[in-house]
Amino acid sequence: MVVLIVLGWILGIFLLLGTLFFLFYRFVFLRDPERNIPPGNVVVSPADGKIIQITEISAKTAQVRKGWLGKVLISPLFNGHCYLISIFMSPLDVHINRAPVGGNAASIKYNRGSFFNAGNLEGSFSNENNQILFHTAIGNVLVVQIAGFLARRIECWVKINQKVNKGEKIGMINLGSQVSMLVPKRGLRLNVSIGERVKGGESVIAHVVR
């Protein structure tokens, strides 16, 4: 009798935890609030979260670091200097990704993550990522969706040659992680700083000053 009661309690706890997880996933993780897309010549945030990196680069191949979990190599196809901006998405942030500017999806490159050396965590894990290159009025803009360590699943909702508008939904990353983007430095004035929280499709990352 006592054993049955204990088993009943254990089953009840598991059912409660499962229900709570479902409610969290359905109403927190999958939420998709309306966003007020700012007008004018501006670059908006591609994701919700906190800005963890703003770097000026000039190399044709850039390396995006994701803490101690790994690194992602990207080939931005930029001429001249550009800004690399990374946004950390926590499990509590909205996970929808949006186009930072209007343009055409010129290429989409998906890279499956894998472990190379389990004994060396620093730089040994290449995270799953999806790189979307847009041809825009301000030049090439690259959005990189980077999956997390636990839930490596990326959804991309655009196709090659598809035209997108500023702030339009382009995909999502399950259970959060990171979104990085590269934008040309020339003709842009940054409007954000490291540590600042932003909203996808709504927060202004940069003003076009050409």
List residues with catalytic annotation: 177
Could you tell me if 179 and 51 are in contact, meaning their C-beta atoms sit under 8 angstroms apart? no
DSSP sequence for the chain: -HHHHHHHHHHHHHHHHHHHHHHHIIIIIT---------SSEEE-SSSEEEEEEEEE--SSEEEE-GGG-EEEE----SS-EEEEEEEE-TTS--EEE-SS-EEEEEEEEE--EES-TT--TTTEE--EEEEEEEETTEEEEEEEE--SS---EEE---TT-EE-TT-EEEEETT-EEEEEEEESTTEEE---TT-EE-TTTSEEEEE--
User: Are 90 and 29 a contacting pair, CB within 8 Å?
Assistant: no
CA distance 131 to 173: 13
Comparing CA positions, the residue from 87, 86, 66, 95 lying closest to residue 176 is 95
